Amino acid sequence: MVDELAYHIFIQATAQDVWDALTEPGWTRKYGYRTLVKYDTRPDGVYLAYASGRRYGQRAGDLVISGEVLEAEPPKRLVQTWHPMFDATAAAEPSTRLTWEIHEEQTGLTAVTVRHECPGAPQTAALASAEAAGSGGWSWVLSDLKTLLETGRPLTA
């Protein structure tokens, strides 16, 4: 069982562009799993992600992930809890911790590091690492985010 997953990529975009793509609903519907995300990026703020279509037996609009913002320093750092709700096994696990580090290396080139701490949550770790069937995990989400920000188009329509 993996307790912590870590991913590091470079995106040809500003740190603010990356932050906006992570936290604004208009962006989150364009990449990854196309979820509608509601963020209150203040400490103790809510994080909610809603299904955009049928997946894991969910209907569009169903709550699939919930969490709470623990730290926010726009556009540099975001720490939150992350609790999948889309199946009974994942929902029964404890919340996990997700940390986004966003650092603009030079104007328009941004390093993004994602750390997902999953102690005691093997189902969540499997989903996040793409070991679970039907999951592309963080690799998929980050690849799609990078492609969208750099080209204006997601990996798939």
**pLDDT band at 156, cuts 50/70/90?**
confident
For the sheet with 109-117, list strands across it: 4-11, 109-117, 96-106, 77-84, 63-73, 46-50, 36-39
pLDDT in tens, 122-139: 999 998 998 876 678 999
Please state the domain count of the chain: 1
pLDDT-derived band at 60 (thresholds 50, 70, 90) equals low
Question: For the chain, give me the number of helices (H) and strands (E)?
Answer: 5, 7
Of the candidates 43, 35, 37, the one whose C-alpha atom is nearest the C-alpha of residue 144 is: 35
In a domain, 66, yes or no: yes
Contact yes or no for 66/37 (Cβ under 8 A): no
Question: Contact 149/28 with Cβ under 8 angstroms?
Answer: no
**Residue from 29, 16, 15 nearest 148 by CA:** 29
Q: What is the CATH number of the domain that holds 75?
A: 3.30.530.20
Torsion from C-alpha of 123, 57, 33, 82, nearest 10 degrees: -40
Structural tokens at position 36: 């509608």
**Which one is predicted more confidently, 58 or 11?**
11
Residue 43 pLDDT > 70, yes or no?
Answer: yes
99 assigned to some structural domain: yes
pLDDT band for position 73 (cuts 50, 70, 90): very high
Q: Which domain holds residue 117?
A: 4-151
